[in-house]
Structure 1
């Protein structure tokens, strides 16, 4: 079975929440792309809308929104997502993953784009206190 760690960012408060997603909820996220809006029920946020903003695989290779598919590929990068150039104009070939969530993805970053009836802290904050 596929299992993801979802990092949900609440832009209004600046807080991030980490959730484990497994089972049929995780399977329904496979094939979604960066920028897609998904229902919050996948991460225990009924009524919320979440926008997928990125992620990484088991080795920490970041997903990139302009690379189609879910495979790893080395591409030449300047100062951008996946590479922080120490000098201006420096370029380097780095390994990045495509913009589609696959079974190799382990972390999915999401931003809250639609608000539900209950506050996020009430829904996700209780689960953090128990841990």
Structure 2
């Protein structure tokens, strides 16, 4: 089975929450395309409805809504997801992934469409970010250096 991280964005609070999706829970997502609605019950978000907005695989290749299927393709693009040209008229051949979720993905992005009875902060376990840990380590090291 495919294991991936689900990044749920909350438009009301402008916060994002990471949820690890493993085992049989991934079956609710595999085969769905960008724009599809998924019941939040699949990841422990009772009462919530999520809309899939994208994702990326282990190499960072992003999904693109206008490419059908699951696989990677080299596509000539002039802008949008996966390529932002520096000047007008520039086009480039980029490797992009289709709009369907497969077992190769590492991250799947979703946004909340309808809310449940409890707020997301209560349902998703809070984890301390890597950035905060590094800042605390730097502060400790600076304090020890002053001694």
Q: Normalising by structure 2, report the TM-score.
A: 0.84
For structure 2, the 5+ residue unaligned runs are: 130-147
Extract structure 1 runs of 4+ deviating beyond 6 A: none
The residue aligned with 1:32 is 32
The structural deviation recorded for 1:43 is: 2.0
> What residue number does 1:50 align with?
50
Shift in Å, 1:129:
4.4
**Hey, what does 2:61 align to over in structure 1?**
61
Secondary structure, counterpart of 1:128 in structure 2: coil
Tell me the equivalent position of 2:121: 121
The one-character-per-residue Cα deviations of 1:23-43 (angstroms, maximum 9, x if unpaired) are: 111122110110000000122
Uncovered stretches (5+) of structure 1, i.e. residues with no partner: none
Shift of residue 58, structure 1, vs aligned partner: 0.7
Greater helix share, structure number: 2
Larger proportion of strand:
1
CA distance, structure 1, for counterparts of residue 94 and residue 128 of structure 2: 40
- 1:130 to partner: Cα distance: 7.6
